[in-house]
Amino acid sequence: MNATFAPPSPEARAKLGALRASLRDIGSAAVAFSSGVDSTFLLRVAHEELGDRCVAVTARSRSFPKRELDEAVAFSRAEGVRHAMVDSEELDVPHFAENPPDRCYHCKKALFGKLLAFAEENGLAAVLEGSNLDDDGDWRPGRRAIRELGVRSPLHDAGLIKAEIRALSREMGLPTADKPSFACLASRFPYGERITAEGLARVERAEDWLRSAFPGLAQLRVRSHAGGVARIEVLPGDIPRLAARAAELSSALRAFGFAYVSLDLAGYRTGSLNETLPTSIRPS
C-alpha cells in the first residue's frame, strides 16, 4: 500500500513564492549541487526562474560518493540544466585531515572559494547553496564560511524547513522528495581521528554494500572509529534485519578493512558524532 502524504501547506507555498522572487532578483547563479534533497529542490526552482542563467556545479572529491555524483550528472542531464564540475580535494585543505570540530569550516571555505571563482569567470551574479532553516539546530561550522564568503542560502532566507522542502519536492515530482538525508563521508569519523583517502574509500565501500544487501534502508551511516571499529547506524526498526545476518555483515565489512563491526542500538540520528562535543559550542 502506497503511503499518502499531505500536500504542501499554505505557509510552504508562500515561502516558495518568496524563494522564486528572491531568485529572480539575484538574476543569475551557480548552484552548489550535491544531488541531495535540498540542493535538488533549489536547482529545480532556480532553473525554472533563471533558465540558462542557472548553472549547477558539483564538487568532485574523495568524500563525495560516486553514486551521488552519478545522480547529480543524471538529474542535470534530464532537466536540461548546464552542469559543471570542480575538483575539491579536501585532504589537501589545511586542518581538514586532522579532523577538528570545525573541519567543515575549512572545507566549505576552500570549496566555496572555488565556486565563487567559477561564478566570476562565467559572469554569474551569485553562488547559491541549499541550507534550510532546520540546519540551525545542529553544529554546522560550515555555515560560518558560507556567511563570510557571501554565498547565498535562499532556502534558509525564505524560512523553508526540511518537511516543507520534501512536500514541495513531492508535488513537483522530484526524485529526491523522499531521499534519505546525506552528509559527506568525512562526517563518519569522530573529531580528532585523522581522515585518510583509504578510510574514506573503506566507508564508501561498506555503505554501498549495505545498501545493496539490505534494500530499502531509509537511513544508513557507517561510522569509522579508532582501532578499525565500524559502528553502523540505521533506523531502530531496521536493526533486527541487520542483526539477523550478523555473521554475513561482519564478514563483508571485515573484508573491506574493518577489524570490528558493531550495530549502534540507539539507531541513526543526525550528527551523532556531535554528541561528544562540549555543550558550550553546540546549539541549544
pLDDT tens-place string over residues 204-231: 999 999 999 999 999 999 999 999 999 9
Mean pLDDT of the chain: 93
pLDDT at 279: 54
Average pLDDT, stretch 85-102?
92
Q: Helix or strand or coil: residue 105?
A: helix
- pLDDT tens digits, residue range 102-151? 999 999 999 999 999 999 999 999 999 999 999 887 778 889 999 999 99
pLDDT at 2: 47
Rounded to whole angstroms, the Cα distance separating 284 from 276 reads: 15
DSSP string, 39-58: HHHHHHHHHHHHGGGEEEEE
pLDDT at 277: 63
Average pLDDT, stretch 161-180?
97
pTM of the model: 0.91
pLDDT at 281 over 90: no
Rounded to whole angstroms, the Cα distance separating 185 from 221 reads: 9
